[in-house]
Structure formats: C-alpha cells, structure tokens
C-alpha cells in the first residue's frame, strides 16, 4: 500500500509537494501560541533521485533542497541544467561530513546551509575553508546533536551542545550559527507519546539559549522527516527535511530484500563498491 503511494509520489512531484506544503501550513497554524511566529522551511531531500525530479520540484516553486553525500551534491549542483534553470536553488547538506570532504563541500555553487556540523573540529575546518573562498556571506550552519545516543548517529551529545555552539559563535567568524539539528532514532511510535529525540532537541535549544544568552526566536530547530514532520512542527521545528513523500521511496543498490529501511539509511559516504 505504502509502496504504491510512494511511486505515485515519484510520478507527480508537483502534487506531492503541494500536499506536503499544505500539511506544513496546517501544522504550523496548530502550533502552541509561543511558537506561532516562526516560519517553517521545507527542505526537499532528493538523495538518490535524478536531477529531473529536483527540477520538477523547483518548477513548482521549491527552493531548498537537501543532499547527504558530498559527491552527489557536488554533481547535482554542477549539472548544466540545474545551473541554467535553477539559479535560485538553495542546497542544504544534511549528511555526515568528513574532514576530507570539507573543501569540496565549501566550493559547491549555491551551498546554502550545512546542517550537520557535528564537532568543533569540523566547524573549524569548515570555517577555514569558507574563509579562503572570500564569499560575501557567512556560511549558515546548524550544530548536529546526537539526541538518541546511537553509535550510528553523529553529532555532539546533548551535554556538549553548549560547547559546540559556543565554539561556532566565538571561534568561527566565517560561519553563521542558525540552529540545532537532529536525525533521531527511527520508528518512534507516536501513539506512545511525543518523540523523545525532538523533546531532547527542544531542551538543548533552551539550554543553549540560556547559557549563551541567545534569543529563543533566533535559534532554529531542524527535525522531522517524511513520517513525522507535522509532529516535529508542533514541537517547534522550523526546518523539516522531507524526501520520500515528495520524490517517492528510495531504492539503494546495496539493499537486500528483507532488510529494513532504517538499517540501510546511509549515515556516511557510500562504500566505493556501491555504484549509484
Ligand atoms: C534521507 C534523509 C531525510 C529524508 O528522509 P525521508 O524519510 O525520505 O523523508 C531527512 N534527513 C536526513 C538527514 C536524511 O538523510
């Protein structure tokens, strides 16, 4: 059943996109009063999907797009059709960033935000790399927090979040701190209550704002994907990352039947043996 819906989504990006943006609007209107003022940004996650689908979404008005491999983002951003026909595209990097990929990432045209600054070391590397390019604007970044404590997830622990954000604010003059991001554990059952990862990220934000004397309204939260973006918005997300609901289910070459989706959701660069 779910598969049928997903492949339909792939065939009609415009309709799926409208459905998602409508749901975001409704969810935003239903937020608690204190959260009402913030806008919610939709990042359309096109990883593994062909450039044609990204262009379709762009033609329907979508501007923010997310990718989680540096190589794939690099190729998509440099695609002649994208360069010519999607001049206002805003690329978000949402994957695990390794130090040896920082330079390649920084040089990508229309790189808008790096959501996955997972350590002080990565922040400093990105800061230095961006500084060398002498761009007009600072690079927008989010600090990735490992709210679920899983080894497979990257990011600062909630306890380290103040330290990481302070490092970005005080030691990285070429970076513009935007907010906190989490991936979180998958398969949380909403009938058992709010997603604990989202609650932890909301907590982190309050703590960071208090310790570093930042305005609560000035710090964004990136949380929520296809399955839970409305729930995330209710809890204060201002940046939702939605892939399969817009572009259709992803098929990974390495996926064997019987494996579950979460086991195969890549969190780092693909092995060289995997061809895409
Ligand atoms: C793939 C991915 C998404 C989108 O996932 P969907 O479930 O397809 O919406 C969001 N965030 C990150 C970090 C991802 O890697």
Please write the tens of the pLDDT for every residue from 219-267.
999 999 999 999 999 999 999 999 999 999 988 776 555 444 444 444 4
47, 268 Cβ separation under 8 angstroms:
no
Which of 57, 225, 249, when mutated, tests ligand 1's pocket best, judged by the most ligand atoms within 8 Å of its CB?
A: 225
CA nearest neighbour of 261 among 270, 269, 252: 252
Model confidence at 140, pLDDT cuts 50, 70, 90, reads: very high
Ligand 1 centroid – CA 100 distance (Å): 23
Domain regions of the chain by residue span? 2-248+259-264
CB contact set of 138 (below 8 Å; sequence gap of 6+): 130, 173, 174, 175, 176
8 A C-beta contact, residue 234 and residue 30:
yes
Measured distance CA(112)–CA(169) in Å, rounded: 18
Question: What whole-number distance in Å separates Cα of residue 89 and Cα of residue 93?
Answer: 13
- Whether the pLDDT of residue 57 is over 80: the answer is yes
Instruction: Tell whether ligand 1 has an atom less than 6 A from the beta carbon of residue 246.
Output: no
pLDDT the model gives residue 152:
85
Can you tell me whether residue 115 is helix, strand or coil?
strand
Question: Residue 132 C-alpha to ligand 1 middle, in angstroms?
Answer: 31
For ligand 1, atom 13, the nearest C-alpha belongs to 94
Would the CB of 143 count as within 6 Å of ligand 1?
no
Dihedral-angle region of residue 153 (phi above 0 means left; psi in -120 to 50 means alpha; beta otherwise)? beta
Helix axes 161-171, 120-133, angle to 10 degrees: 20
Q: What is the pTM of this model?
A: 0.89
pLDDT of the residue at 273: 37
Q: Above 60 in pLDDT, residue 6?
A: no
Contact between residue 14 and residue 55 where contact means Cβ atoms under 8 Å apart: no
Q: Is 242 in the pocket of ligand 1 (CB under 6 A)?
A: yes
* Residue 61 Cα distances to 27, 149, 176, 227, 239, angstroms: 20, 37, 26, 22, 17
pLDDT band (50, 70, 90) for residue 151: confident
Distance from the alpha carbon of residue 106 to the mean position of ligand 1, in angstroms: 22
The answer, yes or no, to whether any atom of ligand 1 lies below 6 A from the CB of 97, is no
Q: Is 244 in the pocket of ligand 1 (CB under 6 A)?
A: yes
Q: How far is the CA of 226 from the centre of ligand 1 (A)?
A: 7
CA torsion, points 248, 254, 255, 261, in degrees to nearest 10?
-60
Please tell me the distance from the alpha carbon of residue 66 to that of residue 95, in angstroms, as a whole number.
Answer: 9
Task: Tell me the pLDDT band of 214, cut-offs 50, 70 and 90.
Answer: very high
For the CA atoms of 67, 71, 74, 80, the dihedral, rounded to the nearest 10 degrees, stands at: -110
The residue nearest atom 5 of ligand 1, judged by CA position, is 243
Question: Which residue(s) pair with 180 in the sheet?
Answer: 143, 221
The response to whether residue 240 sits with its C-beta less than 6 Å from ligand 1 reads no
Q: How confident is the model at residue 185 (pLDDT cuts 50, 70, 90)?
A: confident
Q: Would you say the CB of residue 92 lies under 6 angstroms from ligand 1? A: no
Q: 2-248+259-264 in CATH: which number?
A: 3.20.20.10
Question: Quick one: how far is CA 46 from the chain centroid?
Answer: 11
Q: Rounded to whole angstroms, what are the CA distances from 226 to 19, 56, 178, 209?
A: 12, 19, 22, 28
Counting atoms of ligand 1 from 1, which one is nearest the CA of 47?
1
46 lines ligand 1 (CB under 6 A): no
SS3 (DSSP) at 267: coil
- Helices in the chain by DSSP H: which ranges? 2-11, 13-29, 51-59, 70-78, 80-85, 102-106, 120-133, 161-171, 196-212, 229-234, 244-247, 261-264
**DSSP code for 194:** S
Confirm or reject: Cβ of 184 under 6 Å from ligand 1.
Answer: no
Name the residue of 243, 249, 267 whose CB sits within 8 Å of the most ligand 1 atoms, as the mutation to test its pocket.
243
User: Best substitution site from 7, 45, 142 to test ligand 1's pocket, by max atoms within 8 Å of Cβ?
Assistant: 45
């Amino acid at each position: 059943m779910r598969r049928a819906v997903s492949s339909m989504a792939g065939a009609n990006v415009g309709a799926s996109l409208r459905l998602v943006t409508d749901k975001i609007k409704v969810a935003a209107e239903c937020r608690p009063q204190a959260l009402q003022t913030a806008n919610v940004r939709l990042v359309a996650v096109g990883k593994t999907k062909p450039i044609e689908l990204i262009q379709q979404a762009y033609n329907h008005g979508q501007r923010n797009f997310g990718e989680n491999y540096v190589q794939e983002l690099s190729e998509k951003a440099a695609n002649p059709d994208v360069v010519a026909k999607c001049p206002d595209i805003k690329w978000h990097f949402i994957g695990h960033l390794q130090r040896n990929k920082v330079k390649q990432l920084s040089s990508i045209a229309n790189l808008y935000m790096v959501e996955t600054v997972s350590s002080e070391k990565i922040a400093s590397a990105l800061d230095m790399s961006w500084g060398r390019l002498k761009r007009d604007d600072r690079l927008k970044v989010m600090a990735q927090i490992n709210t679920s404590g899983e080894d497979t997830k990257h990011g600062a622990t909630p306890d380290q979040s103040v330290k990481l954000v302070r490092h970005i604010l005080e030691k990285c003059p070429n970076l513009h701190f935007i907010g906190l991001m989490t991936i979180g554990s998958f398969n949380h059952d909403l009938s058992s209550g709010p997603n604990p990862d989202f609650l932890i990220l909301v907590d982190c934000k309050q703590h960071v704002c208090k310790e570093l004397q930042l305005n609560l309204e000035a710090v964004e939260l990136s949380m929520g994907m296809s399955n839970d973006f409305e729930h995330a918005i209710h809890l204060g997300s201002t940046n939702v990352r939605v892939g399969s609901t817009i572009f259709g289910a992803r098929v990974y070459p390495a996926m064997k039947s019987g494996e579950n989706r979460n086991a195969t959701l890549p969190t780092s660069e693909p092995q060289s043996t995997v061809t895409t």
